[in-house]
Amino acid sequence: MSYLDTYREQLQRTIASLDLDAVHRAVQILRDVRERDGLIFVCGNGGSAATASHFVTDIVKGASFQREKRFRILALTDSATTMTAYANDVSYDAVFAEQLRNFAGPGDVLIAISGSGNSPNVLKAVETAREYGCLTIGITGRDGGKLRSMVNLNIHAPDPHMGRIEDAHMIVCHMIAYSFMDAGGEC
């Protein structure tokens, strides 16, 4: 068996292990916050930042364009100037939490994406979101890290390989986004 066959086989096992009930609950949470005109924030580092940005684009355009009810969603990863100002002048741990302090309110939602579940700035964002009365969703890998037990809902890709974790996270985000694009928010 080649490396490519092995990777694909292991990825298929990771995808098969995803808890679809948790993904369904995430869809319900996002549908509810959209109905209340609440805000959704998404954050992560590295590949998880790319996933956050991609997910927000899918929701802002694909799940909102020409629809009566639109999502209000922001990737906290997308303002490089804000992130680098906080990283330089305060600390990298503050780059998401401080943005939440400007915008978050009760009933809003934070989606925190972390392959390890232990990124200090993501954990701090979850703590801050909870202070402001937000619901929190984690999308984690490996053993879920600290993030897994901090959030209201965790969607876990139990794989040790970061590439397969990131693949699974993108699939979860596509499941959520396309449930709105193709199925109107019904799972």
Model confidence at 1, in pLDDT bands (50, 70, 90)?
confident
pLDDT value, residue 183: 78
pLDDT of 186 > 90? The answer is no
Q: What is the pLDDT of residues 132-173, one digit of tens each?
A: 999 999 999 999 999 999 999 999 999 999 999 999 999 999
pTM strictly above 0.85: yes
The dihedral built from the CA positions of residue 100, 51, 136 and 186, taken in this order, carries a sign that is: positive
Residue 118 and residue 147: Cα distance in Å, rounded? 6
Closest CA to 173 of 67, 45, 38, 30: 30
Residue where the block lists tokens 């922001």: 74
Q: What is the chain's mean pLDDT, rounded?
A: 97
Model confidence at 185, in pLDDT bands (50, 70, 90)?
confident
Going along the chain from its start, the domains and CATH numbers come out as: 3-181 (3.40.50.10490)
Inter-residue contact 30 to 178 (CB < 8 Å): no
Inter-residue contact 134 to 76 (CB < 8 Å): no
Report which secondary-structure segment, H or E, holds 40.
Answer: strand 39-43
Inter-residue contact 132 to 108 (CB < 8 Å): yes
Residue 126 and residue 136: Cα distance in Å, rounded? 7
Residue 43 and residue 77: Cα distance in Å, rounded? 6
Burial of 136 (0-12, 13-18, 19+ CB in 10 A): buried
